[in-house]
């Protein structure tokens, strides 16, 4: 899994941080077929016994209700199944998300779930397409870190940096900004800018006494950046501190063997909406590699 942000929306429940998709004028739902047609050769994945739309959050169920009872139940079941398999079988989660999309492609929560499932399955082009569509529908940039890391997955670190410094990045909350910094650091490393990759992550939260999944990932990413910059002793200390910050394992960290050069941090392992981060400025590296600091609301 690529180094980058935590899950920006919990596909396990089909919920998201953005507002619900508002009703459209001239609603034609009564004229829609009960179930969307599938093209020849398409087959929906089987929904496991016990998985239903009832497990989705109330906000999501309310959005699905506009589809009509039967279509909402079927679409919701596929969303719930996508969440159920997102960690253990991402390809299967992606298949369920596609099935939900066939039925309700105009709903933001459906496109968001599809985008996150595609990302977890390594389908980065699909992830970008789905999350861009979700952003147009919802008006929210909550999944910008995942979009930026998908650009990295497609071998386009420069585009990841563009997203990290876009106006939309300034609208993110504190945790999402930290996740985006992790992606930016990885993009700098992709470009061979290892010293800049270290500086990007030198933010006040790094030294915070608070422990959370977001901070554990930040510290682990910092240790990885230090290691790439050939600062091994510091890297070891920060790796240990990162692991100590993740006592319950919710950050999805993985301690590699000494000869394991793979990328480590799971972008979407746990929902961090409730992480309690301390107040402080966030330091950003500008496009020339220099460090800049300022209030977090005006950074990234």
| pLDDT at 22 > cutoff 50 | no
What share of the chain has pLDDT > 90, as a percent?
A: 65
pTM of this prediction? 0.72
Can you give the pLDDT at residue 221? Answer: 97
71-105 pLDDT, tens digit each: 999 999 999 999 999 999 999 999 999 999 999 99
Band of pLDDT at residue 213, cut at 50, 70 and 90: very high
Task: Report pLDDT for 299.
Answer: 35
Asked whether residue 278 carries a pLDDT value surpassing 90, the answer given is no
State the pLDDT confidence band at 211, using cuts at 50, 70 and 90: confident
Q: Which of 103-107, 215-219, 241-245 has the lowest mean pLDDT?
A: 241-245
* 112-163 pLDDT per residue, tens: 999 999 999 999 999 999 999 999 999 999 999 999 999 999 999 999 999 9
- Which of 160, 198, 181, 190 has the alpha carbon at shortest distance from 263? 190
Mean pLDDT score of the chain, rounded to an integer?
79
pLDDT of 197 higher than 90:
yes
**Residue-wise pLDDT tens digits, 96-119:** 999 999 999 999 999 999 999 999
What's the pLDDT score for residue 266?
52
The stretch 232-241 carries a mean pLDDT of 95
210 pLDDT band (50/70/90 cuts)?
confident
pLDDT of 255? 52
Of 171, 135, 164, the residue nearest 148 (C-alpha): 164
Q: Residue 6 pLDDT more than 90? A: no
Q: Is the pLDDT of residue 300 over 50?
A: no
Write the pLDDT tens digit of every residue in 244-253: 888 778 787 8
Over pLDDT 70: what percentage of the chain?
Answer: 70
CA distance 3 to 183: 7
């Amino acid at each position: 899994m690529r180094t980058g942000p935590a899950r920006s929306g919990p596909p396990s429940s089909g919920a998201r941080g953005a507002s619900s998709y508002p009703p459209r004028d001239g609603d034609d739902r009564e004229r829609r077929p009960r179930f969307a047609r599938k093209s020849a050769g398409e087959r929906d994945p089987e929904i496991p016994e016990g998985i239903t739309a009832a497990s989705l959050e109330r906000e999501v169920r309310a959005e699905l209700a506009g589809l009509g009872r039967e279509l909402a139940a079927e679409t919701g079941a596929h969303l719930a199944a996508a969440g159920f398999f997102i960690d253990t079988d991402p390809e299967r989660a992606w298949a369920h998300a596609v099935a939900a999309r066939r039925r309700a492609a105009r709903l933001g929560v459906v496109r968001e779930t599809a985008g996150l499932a595609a990302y977890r399955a390594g389908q980065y082009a699909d992830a970008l397409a789905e999350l861009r569509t979700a952003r147009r529908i919802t008006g929210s940039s909550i999944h910008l870190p995942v979009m930026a890391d998908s650009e990295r997955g497609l071998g386009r670190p420069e585009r990841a940096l563009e997203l990290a410094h876009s106006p939309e990045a300034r609208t993110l909350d504190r945790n999402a900004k930290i996740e985006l910094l992790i992606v930016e650091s990885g993009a700098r490393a992709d470009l061979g800018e290892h010293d800049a990759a270290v500086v990007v992550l030198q933010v006040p939260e790094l030294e915070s006494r608070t422990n959370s999944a977001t901070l554990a990932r930040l510290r682990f990413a910092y240790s990885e950046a230090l290691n790439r910059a050939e600062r091994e002793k510091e890297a070891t200390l920060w790796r240990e501190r990162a692991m100590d910050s993740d006592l319950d394992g919710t950050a999805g960290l993985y301690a590699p063997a000494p000869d394991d050069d793979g990328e480590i941090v799971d972008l979407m392992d746990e929902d961090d909406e409730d992480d309690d981060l301390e107040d402080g400025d966030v330091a950003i590296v500008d496009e020339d590699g220099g460090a800049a600091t300022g209030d977090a609301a005006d950074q990234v």
